[in-house]
Amino acid sequence: MDKFIIEGGHTLTGDVHISGAKNAVLPIMAASLLWPDRYVLHNVPDLRDTHTMAHLLEIIGASISFEAGSMQIDTTACRNPEAPYELVKTMRASFYVLGPLLARFGKCRVSLPGGCNWGPRPVDLHLKAIESLGASISLDSGYILAEGRLRGATIDFDIRSVGATGNALMAAVLAEGETILTNAAEEPEITALAYFLQKMGAQIEGIGTSTLHVRGQKELHGTEDEIVADRIEAGTFLIAGALAGDGVRIAGVCEDHLTLVLHKLEATGTELRRRDGLIEVSRAAEIHPVDIVTTPYPGYPTDLQAQWIALMTQADGSCIVQDNIYRDRFAHVPELIRLGAQIRLEGNAVTVLGPTELIGAPVMSTDIRASASLVLAALAAQGTSEISRVYHLDRGYEAFEKKLAGLGAHIERVPASL
Ligand code: EPZ
């Protein structure tokens, strides 16, 4: 397993370009299963997760080519509506194939994803949604068997769920009649999925809101699309700039997707300048402590919670970071404490005492965003840190260490074999 060696204390400056969004390309790739045709995607990030999803589509029968950020998908030969456990257990987003496979083939067998490092990740909302559309669901040795002709329905989500909204939306576009989704997720990645489905010929109204109206179609067709910029990668680099930056210029950011994050950064005293579509970020002389509570979009994203804690270790005072989406998403806290952070965990919130001097040490990644948080803290630490199990980070960040080194960070990847 590869690791990173980071020598902290170096200022970041210069230009970095944000890649396409992992959480948009994964459902969009799944959507190509809905109709046998050819699809071309641009600005696709080269991530472990995009390769995992490509492998899953190939197991189902698609043929895929992927180079230089463009991906061609041909789903005309798909015959095997099944997503195996060996693959689904490595990436929860594999569950996105449930809706499209059921809509196209009338039945499918998809492994339950199981848990992750921060606890159970239920799929009850996904299953309730497709049952509302007329599917019959049964459990067969850890696999969901879904079968039935889909008919339009009203689906009221009890809580906001990105994945369940995506699965329900994809199933609904081929269901007979009209489907209304209420309390649907409004994340930009779901909006991107909805626009992609529209380009495939789906009839969807209310895109970008929490109420989606779908009129089922008998036919769809292939299309071409550009993947939206990754707001979580952009937020990660903004926080890196707030920690150690002097003129970090971030290109390719969709500012509208980060409104609250930008406001929170400004409240810390971080210097943000917008020009020519770039955001330039520099560390403040004094970083003010700012509380955050994660909530569904457009609230503060849970995927930037760990990174915010790293920043708050340098704030002049204490603050509270609360995660209302995943109450246990704090595996990064003990690792940050190894670097010298002073953090107290109580329930689904932490109190971060700052400023603390961070000292380089060996630490271990536990999930995608926890890994990013450890890298950010190591950049701000004195001395050398070693971050193990960076395969977690490779799932969701494209060429992360190269982008950081391009900004002046002293970061090196040590391949597992050495
Ligand atoms: C998506 O996961 C993202 N993944 C996650 O990003 C992100 O953290 C999450 O949304 C929240 O924004 C992808 O888009 C591939 P949810 P998802 O369904 O769809 C509960 C990353 O780092 N819930 O919106 O699985 C759930 O437990 C990843 O890129 C149910 O109770 O998240 C959570 O508390 C990590 N039942 C809340 O809803 C369900 O059936 C929101 O989860 C589904 C979810």
How many other C-beta atoms lie within 10 A of the C-beta of residue 357?
12
Closest CA to 232 of 12, 8, 24, 3: 24
Q: Is the dihedral of CA 189, 193, 199, 205 positive or negative?
A: negative
Task: Provide residues with CB under 6 Å of ligand 1.
Answer: 22-23, 26, 92-93, 121-126, 159, 161-164, 189, 302-303, 325-326, 368-369, 396
Torsion, Cα 101 172 225 30, to 10 degrees, reads -20
Question: Is 319 a catalytic site residue?
Answer: no
For 304-350, the pLDDT digits (tens) are: 999 999 999 999 999 999 999 999 999 999 999 999 999 999 999 99
Predicted pLDDT of residue 121: 77
C-alpha angle 121/214/325, rounded to 5°? 25
- Residues, the chain, total? 418
Whether 118 shows a pLDDT value over 90: the answer reads no
How many other C-beta atoms lie within 10 A of the C-beta of residue 136?
11
| Closest residue by CA, ligand 1 atom 38 | 161
> Ligand 1: distance of its center to the CA of 399 in Å?
24
Whether 21 shows a pLDDT value over 80: the answer reads yes
> Ligand 1: distance of its center to the CA of 203 in Å?
25
Q: Which of 108, 116, 254, 319 is catalytic?
A: 116
Whether 120 shows a pLDDT value over 80: the answer reads no
> Ligand 1: distance of its center to the CA of 413 in Å?
30
